[in-house]
Structure 1
Amino acid sequence: MSKILCNMRVTDRSTADEKALRLKSRFREVSSKSFRDRSSQAFSAWAPLLTLAFVLAFLSLTYWALPFFSPWSRSVTLLHLASAPNCDAARSVGLAPAIRGEPGYWPKHDADNDGIACEPWPR
């Protein structure tokens, strides 16, 4: 009697193992067909090129749109934008000190709010 039960358990184990192996192989098939397998590789190959294309398109549109939104010429407007981070940047592009309304004037650079940005302080 116990020999029959042992044989049944072995048989049950072998069918369970077969089912597990079939399930595992089916999972591999489904996983290999998933969108991450092929399409992500194709997209990852094109992603840097697409990013570069979008950045260049944005910069070119910005460059050509500058005369419509700025009272200054393109080169002066680009210098004005380059002077935005801080007074050292404004000095490096030659726009400091700047009076209110001139290129290179940013309110955040005017510490005492007298209309002159990035003015030299006496030491």
Structure 2
Amino acid sequence: MLLHVDDLAELIERVMREKDWTLSTLARRSGISTSTLHSWKSGDRATGSRGPSPALLRKFADGAGLTVAEVFEAAGRHVPAAMDDETERRFLHMLRALSDDDRKVVEATMQAMAERQRS
């Protein structure tokens, strides 16, 4: 159970300590390179200009046995809202029904919204 974690580096340290894992073990279990985890652990979270990508944070959460919310919070990122399978299917169905031009508009809008969430 996560009580308080100030940042991603601290969370990585805690996982390694509690599970008695090396960084290599954590990398193997999460499918993230050791060098990437090392940079996060050393406080250099700049994998890209905005820090770790959501996809990598999700992989880390899965591999470390943590919730996505714990990891995103520790990384200082907006915690994504849960989406059930039915909602995701509905969104995908609507997206597929759009023309290519309209899909580009939706994508640009979603990117802008995601950027706003990160601010």
Question: When the two structures are superposed, what TM-score results if normalisation uses the length of structure 2?
Answer: 0.26
Q: For CA contacts below 8 A with separation 6 or more, give which structure has more relative contact order.
A: 2
Question: When the two structures are superposed, what TM-score results if normalisation uses the length of structure 1?
Answer: 0.25
